[in-house]
Each structure stands twice: as structure tokens, then as C-alpha cells.
């Protein structure tokens, strides 16, 4: 996981004195309201606790696919922020995290209970999810959900391409199967016509032909029978 865009970030303590920044109120909400802490909505100066609470909302967004305060309509941005704040405060953590491991609710309740200057117990919070990770028998294989979805999409595209190619090959095969008998049939008919056509266009075995001297040829049943077998 990479954290980027620190345009709205600021230090929680003074560089020179190493003292925590003072508690203040009447602050304007900055950042994305969807993930903002409740204290941020209330206009309270943000500190470490607010970062951790926001992270909890991001985790639940990953789990659920959406958060209860998304999609709220309002006439102005200020009114929309107020609606988000009201929905966020009225949604119990247990309801927000319902259907998911208890560690997520434990995490959010812990973060919401921190005091303004209190240092979060990062080790405790990490251990919550490390233990859960082992409990669920996950592996550090660096195969993430989004990687699997990308691979699934690539496989689907590959299967679709293969199916199209197979369909084209099947059509060509069917076309070939259709063409070949026609070609053979045409060849047989042409050869037969050439064999059956005598002088003056007479057909052997049916009489009416003449020899080189102009004499009439007698009907030859055996020749007719032989020609018929040849056509079959």
C-alpha cells in the first residue's frame, strides 16, 4: 500500500519544541468527507486519532464496496457534508462492520475512543489484523484481490478470443465439408458425361450410333450395363 498526495497533510507536533499541536475547534472540513473522522465533521482540529479512524472507514469501504453515507443528495456541499456527518454519527460501528470479522469493529471503536493528544497503540492495532490474517489461513503471497480480478478479466478475454477463433475454424471446416462433395460430384458428372458421349452425341448401349463407315451399330446391353455400374 502506498500513501500519496500529502497536499492537505500537516505535522501533529511542533518541529522545534516537539510539543503536540493545540486543540482547536471551528475548523473547516478538509479532504474527502466520505472517509473523514467524526471529529473532523464537528470542526475539531485533527490529530493522529483522526488518521486512524479514516483508515478504518477505508478498510470497511474495501470490505463492503460502499459506505452507508455514500450517495446522499443535498442542495449545497455544506448541506451534503452535514448529511454525511449525521449518517456517520448515527450508524453504530457494529452495524457498519456487521458480517465481517470482529477485529474491524474493535479497530474503529479503539480509534474513536482515543483522546486528542493520545498516541495510538500501533502495535496493538497491527496485531489485531496479523492474528486475523493467520486465523483465516491467508498467505503472504502478494496476490491481492485486484490482481486476481485483473487476471480473471484477462483470462475471460483470452477465452473469448479463443472461442471466436474456434468458431471461425468450425465454419471453415463446415464450408470445406460442403464444398468438397460438390467438387467431387461435379467431377464425377463431367467424367461420366465424357465417357457416355459417343460419336454424334449418341449414348452407348442405346443404339443409334454409327461406325466409321456410316453403318448403324446394334444395341449392346452388356456395354449399357457396364456404363451404368460405372456411374454408381
pLDDT of 231 strictly over 50 = no
Last residue of a domain, one of 105, 120, 146: 146
Rounded to an integer, what is the distance from CA 124 to the centroid of its chain?
Answer: 36
pLDDT of 180 strictly over 50 = no
**Quick check: 56 and 107 in contact, CB under 8 A?**
yes
**Shared domain check, 135 and 38:** yes
pLDDT per position as a tens digit, 55-65: 999 999 999 99
What's the pTM? Answer: 0.65
The answer to the question of residue 155 being in a domain is: no
The answer to the question of residue 124 being in a domain is: yes
Residue 49 exposed, middle or buried by CB count within 10 Å (0-12, 13-18, 19+): buried
**Shared domain check, 170 and 136:** no
The answer to the question of residue 216 being in a domain is: yes
The residue among 77 and 179 whose pLDDT is bigger is 77
**Shared domain check, 133 and 203:** no
**Quick check: 108 and 49 in contact, CB under 8 A?**
no
Domain tally, the chain: 2
Q: Residue 67 belongs to what domain range?
A: 33-146
**Shared domain check, 178 and 111:** no
pLDDT of 182 strictly over 60 = no
**Shared domain check, 199 and 133:** no
Residue 24 exposed, middle or buried by CB count within 10 Å (0-12, 13-18, 19+): exposed
Q: How confident is the model at residue 216 (pLDDT cuts 50, 70, 90)?
A: low
The answer to the question of residue 15 being in a domain is: no
**Shared domain check, 176 and 132:** no
Name the least confident of 6-15, 20-29, 72-81: 6-15
| Residue 106, SS3 per DSSP | helix
The answer to the question of residue 9 being in a domain is: no
**Shared domain check, 45 and 119:** yes
Q: How confident is the model at residue 134 (pLDDT cuts 50, 70, 90)?
A: very high
**Shared domain check, 119 and 187:** no
**Shared domain check, 172 and 134:** no
The answer to the question of residue 76 being in a domain is: yes
**Shared domain check, 132 and 183:** no
The answer to the question of residue 14 being in a domain is: no
**Shared domain check, 113 and 49:** yes
Last residue of a domain, one of 146, 176, 209: 146
**Shared domain check, 80 and 46:** yes
The answer to the question of residue 81 being in a domain is: yes
pLDDT per position as a tens digit, 97-110: 999 999 999 999 99
Residue 181 confidence (pLDDT): 47
Amino acid at each position: 500500500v502506498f500513501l500519496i498526495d500529502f497536499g492537505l497533510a500537516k505535522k501533529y507536533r511542533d518541529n522545534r519544541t516537539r510539543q503536540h499541536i493545540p486543540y482547536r475547534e471551528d475548523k473547516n472540513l478538509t479532504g474527502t468527507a466520505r472517509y473523514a473522522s467524526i471529529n473532523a465533521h464537528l470542526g475539531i482540529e485533527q490529530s493522529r486519532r483522526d488518521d486512524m479512524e479514516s483508515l478504518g472507514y477505508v478498510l470497511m469501504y474495501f470490505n463492503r464496496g460502499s459506505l452507508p453515507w455514500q450517495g446522499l443528495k443535498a442542495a449545497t456541499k455544506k448541506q451534503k457534508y452535514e448529511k454525511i456527518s449525521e449518517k456517520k454519527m448515527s450508524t453504530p460501528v457494529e452495524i457498519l462492520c456487521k458480517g465481517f470479522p470482529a477485529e474491524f469493529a474493535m479497530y474503529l471503536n479503539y480509534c474513536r475512543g482515543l483522546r486528542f493528544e493520545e498516541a495510538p497503540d500501533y502495535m496493538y492495532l497491527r496485531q489485531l489484523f496479523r492474528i486475523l490474517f493467520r486465523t483465516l489461513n491467508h498467505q503472504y503471497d502478494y496476490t491481492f484481490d485486484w490482481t486476481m480480478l485483473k487476471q480473471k478479466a484477462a483470462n475471460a478475454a483470452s477465452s473469448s478470443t479463443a472461442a471466436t477463433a474456434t468458431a471461425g475454424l468450425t465454419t471453415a471446416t463446415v464450408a470445406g465439408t460442403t464444398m468438397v462433395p460438390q467438387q467431387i460430384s461435379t467431377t464425377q458428372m463431367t467424367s461420366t458425361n465424357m465417357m457416355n458421349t459417343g460419336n454424334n452425341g449418341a449414348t452407348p448401349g442405346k443404339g443409334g450410333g454409327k461406325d466409321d463407315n456410316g453403318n448403324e451399330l446394334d444395341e449392346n446391353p452388356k456395354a449399357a450395363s457396364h456404363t451404368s455400374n460405372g456411374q454408381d
